Amino acid sequence: MNILILSAGTRNKVVQYFKQTIGGNGRVIATDMSEYAPAVYEADGFYQVPRITEPRYIEIIIDICKKEKIRGVLSLIDPELSLLASHIKDFEAIGVTVIGSSYELCERALDKMEMHSWLERNGYPCAKSYVNKEDFYHDMEEGKISFPVFVKPVRGSASIAISKVFDRETIDHLFAHNENLMIQEFLDGQEIGADVYIDMISGETVSIFAKKKLAMRAGETDKAVSFKDDRLFDLIERFVAESGWRGQIDIDIFDVNGTYYISEVNPRFGGGYPHAYECGCNHMDLIKNNLNGHVNEKRIGIYEENVYMMKYNEVMIKRF
């Protein structure tokens, strides 16, 4: 079984875990637009490819799949998820499974207002959000929301261009000089990350790993501790079932005074996934089972609690 990991970047651990899981029964191939992406050198093979916006990009990836006899393909960056999902039929035609959710869900995950609208419409607690600043000012005058708030791009990832704002003047300035912004309520609570795997055959949530985030850096979890809560697991299972996600997803959640608020979903392996793997949630194995046509057994919350993850910098040296 050969796996293709697109836009591998610095996700060395993800590549390593796939290699450990597949063992001698297949190869892990990686791609990136840069030859200086360290994760690609962990793989069994590496292709340098163009930017995902190039017209022939998908054609190039499909050619790699044919050459390497790839069984499953996945991406590790948000902008590529919708692109892959929109070409599911093209990959299926050559016997390759796109490991991920539908195009509609990938787009919903990218569009924070669309995600907010879905959550609100379906009765999930979520942060108040606005694309019209005048609507925000009206609710502020009504006492429904107050500063500070976050101003962020409606479509974005990795916490890029997010500002914590404490006054009206700053909001006016940001909206005057940028397009497609939104205002989002500041949730003052414990931030939580959940690494979730939804069986690609049965559609059932089969694994959930939860961690309390202790420190963040560049939009990713830098330090965290594992914990369990059946009430949270039930919420995630309901959310997944009503949404229709597939494969690996990463959910951002806030615990505000005992109420869980779903914030965002990344339909891919998140930067904090190694924490889940090292605590016993081997989602690479679940992917392997699905690609072999097997439905995974449900094992929610089967992992070690009170295990701390602390990221640190490592260096790769290559001589070209």
Query: What proportion of the chain, given as a percentage, has pLDDT over 90?
Result: 94
Whether residue 277 lies inside any domain: the answer is yes
pLDDT > 70? residue 112: yes
Whether residue 219 lies inside any domain: the answer is yes
- The stretch 263-269 carries a mean pLDDT of 97
The region that residue 249 occupies, defined by phi over 0 for left and psi between -120 and 50 for alpha, beta otherwise, is: beta
Q: Indicate whether 8 and 88 sit together in one domain.
A: yes
Q: Indicate whether 161 and 195 sit together in one domain.
A: no
pLDDT for 158: 58
Q: Indicate whether 267 and 178 sit together in one domain.
A: no
pLDDT > 80? residue 156: no
Encode pLDDT of 221-263 as tens digits: 899 999 999 999 999 999 999 999 999 999 999 999 999 999 9
Q: Indicate whether 179 and 209 sit together in one domain.
A: no
* CATH code: domain of residue 73: 3.40.50.20
pLDDT > 80? residue 161: no
Whether residue 23 lies inside any domain: the answer is yes
Domain end residue (candidates: 151, 185, 219): 185
- The stretch 8-32 carries a mean pLDDT of 97
Q: Indicate whether 205 and 160 sit together in one domain.
A: no
Whether residue 113 lies inside any domain: the answer is no
Q: What is the mean pLDDT of the chain?
A: 96
- Angstrom CA distances, 173 to 134, 135, 168, 182, stand at 14, 17, 9, 13
pLDDT > 80? residue 218: no
pLDDT for 217: 82
* CATH code: domain of residue 135: 3.30.1490
Q: Indicate whether 280 and 300 sit together in one domain.
A: yes
Encode pLDDT of 65-89 as tens digits: 999 999 999 999 999 999 999 999 9
Q: Indicate whether 154 and 195 sit together in one domain.
A: no
Total domains in the chain come to 3
Q: Over the chain, what HEC string results? A: CEEEEECCCCCHHHHHHHHHHHHHHCCEEEEECCCCCHHHHHCCEEEECCCCCCCCHHHHHHHHHHHHCEEEEEECCHHHHHHHHCCHHHHHCCCCEECCCCHHHHHHHHEHHHHHHHHHHCCCCCCCEECCHHHHHHHHHCCCCCCCEEEEECECCCCCCCEEECCHHHHHHHHHHCCCEEEEECCCCEEEEEEEEECCCCCCEEEEEEEEEEEEECCEEEEEEEECCHHHHHHHHHHHHHHCCCEEEEEEEEEECCEEEEEEEECCCCCCHHHHHHCCCCHHHHHHHHHCCCCCCCCCCCCCCCCEEECCCCCCCCCC
Whether residue 296 lies inside any domain: the answer is yes
Domain end residue (candidates: 81, 99, 117): 99
Q: Indicate whether 200 and 296 sit together in one domain.
A: yes
pLDDT for 216: 83
Whether residue 119 lies inside any domain: the answer is no
Whether residue 261 lies inside any domain: the answer is yes
* CATH code: domain of residue 209: 3.30.470.20
pLDDT for 220: 82
Whether residue 123 lies inside any domain: the answer is no
Q: Indicate whether 199 and 294 sit together in one domain.
A: yes
Token reading at 8: 């591998």
Encode pLDDT of 56-71 as tens digits: 999 999 999 999 999 9
pLDDT > 70? residue 276: yes
In this prediction, residue 159 has a pLDDT band, given cuts at 50, 70 and 90, of low
Q: Indicate whether 77 and 29 sit together in one domain.
A: yes
Q: Indicate whether 142 and 196 sit together in one domain.
A: no
- The stretch 153-176 carries a mean pLDDT of 87
pLDDT for 172: 96
In this prediction, residue 293 has a pLDDT band, given cuts at 50, 70 and 90, of very high
Q: Indicate whether 67 and 173 sit together in one domain.
A: no
Range of the domain at 56: 2-99
Q: Are 232 and 196 in contact, with CB atoms under 8 Å apart? A: no
